[in-house]
Structure 1
């Protein structure tokens, strides 16, 4: 069964930990750049001490030595899953995979869920047949460099699972229960469909954390995965 990762994109670590304590059976917490910049490693330790695995989603994209050092620091903190940008290139991806060892899974961000083909063309400075083409190209590069898997939207999920095979992790953000607003994410998917297409980890933030009843919203998503 796919794992549900709750993205705690909240104003403070206190808010994140308070909500985490209300979510029954919570196994995974995502800490992104805003919360990490405010709270730092202490929040990671708080989650891991509660038996909650941490997805540190900082999407590193730098020279290989810096990224390797960052991944090493994350591993030493007890992080279970983290991200780098596939566009960082083979040397950077290989350095990240080597630094991670066996204890930390590094996955490569292919195409952000806020990007469509037109946006990609403006970034890359060349024609892009479609987002799926670019996601597959970057996904293959990530695996070739030794990463454990990729981050990709639900719309590219089926294509990537077929192209990359059954083993790699595929982490899917932009997951929305039926009726949830998409927000600023262009390419979203419902939980059951993401599982059917081969997702291993589903990332859900605002549909839970911004809900009137976060616990009820969390329970609905858990039930949708059963």
Structure 2
């Protein structure tokens, strides 16, 4: 099973939220999904795509979400959209972490690296904590032999999870890894990822949204060349529109 990039979710999220949601929205809109999925590879393309999401959120009183982005791109987007009056642009990392300090390549405890944006109409009352709870899921992988296993980006790609759907991957110790994903791929990770990892009794579970993500070494978001070509072919087969 192949999971499409989060850019495929240029859709209106239902505002009739479940009881676990702290925002009390009163109306609902129809969930729509674009038949052609845009993917951005340059900062200019990413900016255009995010601007499109912001316009959608403002025009339809809806909530939109971007893929996970690298810090440089995310900082530029945050700077551009922080003073918008028509939409809220909330940057979330998962695991109750904060933005790293500008121009600092070292990620300190309590800070995140990769992040995504939840963009909501300004009058919907979305806040950063709710945005993180609803649009980021932290998964803990235990009893994994980190040294002997494939890297987590490669393992995730092998089960069809595009890295647009993946935030930070933090190695807590030699047998424990925590990583952030979009809620749409959580079940896929829980069901399939252990088959791609080395270890006795490898287990995966969702971390409570109120728990702080541990600090540790972060794995680079790089794929092997073979997997990278495979994922590119899958993107083309899915009908992606190339920006930039």
**TM tier, shorter chain?**
0.3 to 0.5
Higher RCO structure (Cα 8 Å, ≥6 apart): 2
User: Which structure: larger Rg?
Assistant: 2
Give the TM-score normalised by the residue count of structure 2. Answer: 0.32
